[in-house]
Amino acid sequence: MSPPETRAPGDSVPTLHLVCGKIGSGKSMLAQRLAATASTVLICEDVWLARLYPGEITAIADYVRCAGRLRGVLAEHLVALLHAGVSVVLDFPSNTVASRLWARSVFESAGAAHRLHFLDVADELCKARLKVRNEAGDHPFKTSEAEFEAISRYFEAPALEEGFEVVRYE
């Protein structure tokens, strides 16, 4: 993985950093690296969902419902952070056209810059990392290989016509 491209010291343009990649691709690790930059805050969907909806997310439909609520609540707050000059790293999967449209509405409302960090990682590596993560037990959610396959069916890699500034990692 190459070093993340982040805001230069003294650069006053707040940036909304988005991460795109399948489960186990390294989105959260990259998000943490990106958030280590000055005037940057990390917001992690898994942490918020686990604390707001403990034990309630047991199926994909539960995730979709709860994540939709969370995004609805956070949108104005994210715009306010970006208006205040704070860059934001969203450790939310920007894995579908619809999720990226939501993120676009946030950075456009704020008049902020954006970067879509796309982790293009093979399924086999994602599954191996997922197994290690599940065994470690330090992640709020465990995902089986069958769930990985089911969730991955919804994955849509970013397309050029979407117009995002994409930073690709292989």
- pLDDT score recorded for residue 121: 96
Buried/exposed code over 102-137 (b: 16+ C-beta within 10 A; e: otherwise): bbbebbeebebbbbbbbbebebeebbebbeebbeee
Q: What is the pTM of this model?
A: 0.88
For residue 1, tell me if it sits in a domain: no
**Which tokens go with 24?**
């186990």
Tell me the mean pLDDT in the region 129-153.
85
Give φ, ψ of 100 to 5 degrees: -75, -30
What is the pLDDT, as a whole number, of residue 116?
98
Q: Is 108 among the domain residues?
A: yes
What amino acid occupies position 23? I
Tokens representing residue 6 in the block: 């982040």
Structural domain contains residue 7? no
Q: Which domain holds residue 128?
A: 15-169
- For residue 155, being part of any structural domain is answered with yes
- pLDDT of 122 over the 90 cut: yes
Residue 74 pLDDT greater than 50, yes or no: yes
Inside any domain, residue 5? no
Calculate what percentage of the chain has a pLDDT beyond 70: 93
Task: Decide if pLDDT at 125 tops 80.
Answer: yes
> What's the number of domains the chain is made of?
1
pLDDT confidence bin for 145, thresholds 50/70/90: confident
pLDDT band at 4 (very low <50, low <70, confident <90, very high): very low
Lowest mean pLDDT among 20-24, 58-62, 68-72, 132-136: 132-136
Residue 110: which CATH number? 3.40.50.300
Considering the domain boundaries, does residue 130 fall inside one? yes
The answer to whether residue 86 sits within a structural domain is yes
